[in-house]
Amino acid sequence: MIDNKITIKGDAVVDIQRGAIEHRATWTGLTYVKGCEAGLTKEMEQIIRQAVSETGKTQGAGIKAKCPEPENVSCFADTFLSPTLLKTFEATFKTKNSDRVDLEFHHCPLLKAWQELGLDDGTCEKLCDMAMDGDRGIAKAMGYNFHLGDTIAKGCKTCEVSFIKGEK
């Protein structure tokens, strides 16, 4: 069973950001569901993955351009993960150094939107993995490896996300 609790409440900026992320997730979720209902399940997954991956690569290029030391994963984290974004996902650093960043996310606004649409756990898990293609694209643009461990959408307590300096 998916447990996607919110503990950070009443922060106006975080609430606005969560609302925007939930709105984006609603679009994606309904696009996928309507495509599946039309018999295009495989095609919808492929299209969404391609679009989200390209979005991540575009976002990653922008982050790389702003990052003073793009080869330093800690510097990347400081550039990419604002304090508001960390609060939005209730994320904490487990490791943060020049070679890698390991994060735990305790809440996911995307998942909240999919749950509010009444999507079953399996569909939420599928949409979560598709959404992670954005982070995979960011990592690729930065020249990093990406690892996704546990996810809340799989029924785990947290989402485990790692960005790791790539081998040259």
Query: Which residues lie below 8 Å from residue 12, measured CB to CB, with a gap of 6+?
Result: none
Share of the chain above pLDDT 70, in %: 99
Residues 106, 7 contacting (CB under 8 angstroms)? yes
CA-based nearest residue to 84, from 149, 19, 128, 33: 19
Domain limits at 65? 12-165
In a domain, 7, yes or no: no
Other C-beta atoms closer than 10 Å to the C-beta of 55 total 14
H-run or E-run covering 43: helix 41-66
Find the CATH number of the domain harbouring 53.
Answer: 3.30.1380
Q: pLDDT for 102-116, tens place per residue?
A: 999 999 999 999 999
Q: What total of structural domains would you count in the chain?
A: 1
pTM over the 0.85 mark: yes
